[in-house]
Amino acid sequence: MSSILLPWTDIKSYRAEIGPGVGRPPRPVGCLRCPGKRIWYDGWRRVFSVLIGDEGRVERVDEGVPLQRVACATCWTSWTLWPSFLHPARQFGPDVNEAAALAYLSDARATYVEVGSRYGCSWTSVWRWVGWLGRLAAPEEILAAILRTAGDSPALDFVPREVPQDHEKAYSPERAAILLRAYRTLVLIGLWARALWVPPSDPSSLRWFLWTQRRGPRGPQGQREARSPAFHIDRRGPPDA
């Protein structure tokens, strides 16, 4: 699993530079919704994500990671500025999703319960992650992107033909197909990252793929900057009683 470890120093460096009374991230140059260019800082939020830290340990950021919120002075759209090592709408970081799913799909003896215990999550979380990865992208499209990037890539030889198992991992043909798609997707995303002329600095291939392809847990996000969903603010002040 050393290939997907996130240096814990990245998080520590961020928290040493960004936060209330410490510092702010760069202000966006424009609004996500309208042509407005005046963007205000609009308070903070704190998230408690679970990531893979030093020596491959799964760790929860107990102190929380402070995230700056900003708002457009024209339309009052507000959104959160996310650092690259986190991903919107996910308590467990994509590196944990990647490691847990690979652990289950690549090991014939692995079970959802055992993998969930190893990565500090419920077995149902691992089950959902595998299903999500099986629907994330078409493996053949990722393979085509690899061959466009590096025509002599031996990626086709590394595409899994089956999911290793010494027990029944899927109880229907549909679920079996999802497991194989998930396994192929993870392998091919890793191969794609390594086929680039300049490999991504993020050691988690899945997290790199999600940010570059703008894909979240609910599907593609288009070409806009990856942020948490913006919401509209009509006015300031406490809600009506």
| Domains in the chain, number | 2
Q: Do residues 83 and 118 share a domain? A: no
Residue 23 domain flag: yes
Q: Do residues 62 and 123 share a domain? A: no
Distance separating alpha carbons of residues 241 and 239, to the nearest angstrom: 6
pTM more than 0.85: no
Q: Do residues 79 and 124 share a domain? A: no
Distance separating alpha carbons of residues 135 and 179, to the nearest angstrom: 10
Residues 6+ apart with CB under 8 A from 74: 31, 34, 35, 36, 38
Q: Do residues 99 and 143 share a domain? A: yes
Locate tokens 């410490």: which residue? Answer: 22
pLDDT of residue 226: 36
pLDDT of residue 143: 93
Taking every pair of Cα atoms in the chain, the longest distance, rounded to a whole number of angstroms, is: 66
Distance separating alpha carbons of residues 59 and 8, to the nearest angstrom: 10
Residue 237 domain flag: no
Contact 95, 51 (CB under 8 A): yes
pLDDT of residue 56: 64
The whole domain housing 133 covers 94-220
Q: Do residues 215 and 104 share a domain? A: yes
pLDDT of residue 41: 94
> Average pLDDT for consecutive 10-residue bins of the chain (241 residues)?
44 85 92 91 85 67 84 92 72 85 96 92 91 93 92 89 94 94 95 88 85 57 39 47 41
One-letter amino acid of 121? C
Which 3 state secondary structure label does DSSP give 88? coil
Q: Do residues 58 and 112 share a domain? A: no
Helix and strand numbers, DSSP H then E, in the chain: 8, 8
Contact 146, 192 (CB under 8 A): yes
Q: Do residues 195 and 145 share a domain? A: yes
- Please name which of 55, 159, 49, 62 lies closest in space to residue 96, comparing C-alpha atoms: 49
Q: Do residues 140 and 181 share a domain? A: yes
Residues 6+ apart with CB under 8 A from 217: 89, 90, 132
Q: Do residues 56 and 127 share a domain? A: no
Q: Do residues 213 and 100 share a domain? A: yes
The set of long-range contacts for 119-123, using a CB threshold of 8 Å and a minimum separation of 24, is 119/58, 119/92, 120/50, 120/58, 120/60, 121/50, 121/92, 121/96
Q: What is the DSSP letter of 187?
A: H
One-letter amino acid of 159? V
- Please name which of 49, 212, 150 lies closest in space to residue 204, comparing C-alpha atoms: 212
Residue 241 domain flag: no
Distance separating alpha carbons of residues 134 and 186, to the nearest angstrom: 9
pLDDT of residue 82: 84
Residue 190 domain flag: yes
DSSP 112-139: HHHHHHHTTS-HHHHHHHHHHHHTTS-H
